[in-house]
Structure 1
């Protein structure tokens, strides 16, 4: 069979992102290649996540085999851009022959019968989202996902229908919280609240491009699937209970600062140069229309910078992890943002003045 190198490489990049490089089960490091009427179907899984993708190809002989996903990806990646690739299976040697121009590779295969079946299960809930909305929904909150394995139920994004009006994505690591909402799509009214794993979120953001118009989302209590173009991606959900995040979002923060977020981020980044690597602490001191940012370190010294802001409440001093501030600033970009404070020990709400669909909550720290 013959396939375009660039098309094949793109699909292989998706497959090798799913498989584990150092799996204790050899077949799970392989990608399954199968010929179809449309071309070649590539399937990869680590038993938690699976992807099935079909690429156009000229098929001369039907076949089915498995080969190392990472090795095949590296081989194809190093072939000439835009080249045509010839793939053939040597049954006697149990090898996949990859040829392009004067290059020839023979890659060992494993029996396709060993490859696990992809079980999508019964997923009774289905709705459709524009690809750009799905990308924004996940991308705006994923930075707040936890990486602590002890609290595994925070290692992902909580997706749910809120008050039959919104489709919400929420992530938190206990220090910060990010929430993004979209109008509830038809078919999502009765979906269960589910926790989509960090790996699933990151892979979906890699394989879904804005060139895709719509993405079909399928859900059950244990599984989520995404279908678009010639690609099917499915994953187990995290089996756990997400905390009641609404209790974390303060309702009476009455001290409001408005600031240009780009200027704020640049100032935080400069001052935080002095802060210690251990806690990245920075102090914000607010008075009428003036913000003073300070960082102090026994090893590195002292830094202070003043910034003009819109603020007319009583003075307040509060400390934050500068890295967390910069993460939120990156989401808001060069827009104006509002910070709503209560006191120096209570959570702060941060949101863009031009985008009320996204909300961020940041816990203060001692500085």
Structure 2
């Protein structure tokens, strides 16, 4: 095997597949990147939970294959100077050359590497890439890191009978729902994709500068096709929470406010909001007629502010976790509505001109 390619092209394509190279030594092969030179260059990684493969053009002088440690290969290429890089396999060694620099790495047998296991699609959906990334960003932050509740660690992809796909993320304290209209869709599905994998996939979309993303489902597998890159992930087993039943159908108070104003207010409130026992940063919203007051308190001090906004409905006093509001404000801009039902019911955050995105957040016990 022998090929020559520009360093930036080589580095970009390594970065597309490096997330699926195992970082723990489950087995040395899964730490590796499979390099194949035939009509084009193909890179493949596989940690048995996620498989990644990308294809690109290069000057191929000799066909062949090699299997080297992915992180080591990536670290070497990052440190090479700009310009052409020559990659050569000779016997059980891979040589990486650039100008007067040469690295030599041992290669394992490429035939021992697990092949890509792409299944035929039972259902699929295709999205405009930029809309897909924006929609994932709006829900992924609401997923959980708690692996004892695995269905909460993924994003639900759901399509029933209409033309939209629902993307849903939740952690038991908050819920984010984004409806996105695909360019093309076939079949009904309800599949949970690991949030960590989706985070890697959105980064690939940026590198690929792709126009579309195609997602195919087959039993416990999802395949993402992004330009010249294919990602196969193992879906999370289990039934997702009945999120639709959690959405309040009525409210008692509506607060209309600028995201910039609310974000600045909450950032100030968070300075003296941390409870040392629970480690929760609590904030209290209170309305009195047309007045909206935000305050927080802790052993460190007390904060209070009358906030400029529009208030309708009953007077209310309710506590929230500051973090859960600051997170959603990072993915929204302009004016938002906050719909409050009671001190114990979930509240809704929604833009007045966007019915396709809903964010629910549970209240917390107010500090005394």
Would you call these one fold, judging by a TM-score over 0.5?
yes
SS at match of 1:204: helix
Q: Extract unaligned runs of 5+ from structure 2.
A: none
Verify the 8 A CA contact 2:85 2:98 in the aligned structure 1: yes
- Distance in 2 (alpha carbons) for counterparts of 1:323 and 1:103: 49
SS at match of 2:141: helix
Q: Extract unaligned runs of 5+ from structure 1.
A: none
RMSD: 1.4
- Distance in 2 (alpha carbons) for counterparts of 1:361 and 1:229: 34
- Distance in 1 (alpha carbons) for counterparts of 2:362 and 2:260: 21
Verify the 8 A CA contact 1:123 1:223 in the aligned structure 2: no
SS at match of 2:271: coil
Structure 1 segment 162-201 matched on structure 2, within 5 A: 162-188=160-186, 190-201=187-198
SS at match of 1:227: strand
TM-superposed deviation, 1:121 = 2.0
TM-superposed deviation, 1:128 = 2.1
- Distance in 1 (alpha carbons) for counterparts of 2:161 and 2:322: 34
TM-superposed deviation, 1:199 = 2.1
Match of 1:72 in 2: 73
Match of 1:90 in 2: 90
Match of 1:358 in 2: 357
- Distance in 2 (alpha carbons) for counterparts of 1:261 and 1:118: 45
- Distance in 1 (alpha carbons) for counterparts of 2:193 and 2:250: 31
Match of 2:200 in 1: 203
Aligned residue pairs, count: 360
Structure 1 segment 180-259 matched on structure 2, within 5 A: 180-188=178-186, 190-209=187-206, 211-259=209-257
Residues 1:283 and 2:284 are matched in the alignment: yes
Structure 1 segment 1-367 matched on structure 2, within 5 A: 1-37=3-39, 39-80=40-81, 82-91=82-91, 94-188=92-186, 190-209=187-206, 211-276=209-274, 278-298=279-299, 300-333=300-333, 335-367=334-366
TM-superposed deviation, 1:103 = 1.2
Verify the 8 A CA contact 1:167 1:185 in the aligned structure 2: no
Name the TM-score, length of structure 1 as normaliser. 0.95
SS at match of 1:273: helix
TM-superposed deviation, 1:231 = 1.1
TM-superposed deviation, 1:131 = 0.9
SS at match of 2:67: strand
Verify the 8 A CA contact 1:161 1:184 in the aligned structure 2: no
SS at match of 2:255: strand
Name the TM-score, length of structure 2 as normaliser. 0.94
Deviations 1:243-298 (A, max 9, x none): 10001111111311100111100110111111116011111111233221111112
Verify the 8 A CA contact 1:192 1:220 in the aligned structure 2: no
- Distance in 2 (alpha carbons) for counterparts of 1:322 and 1:218: 37
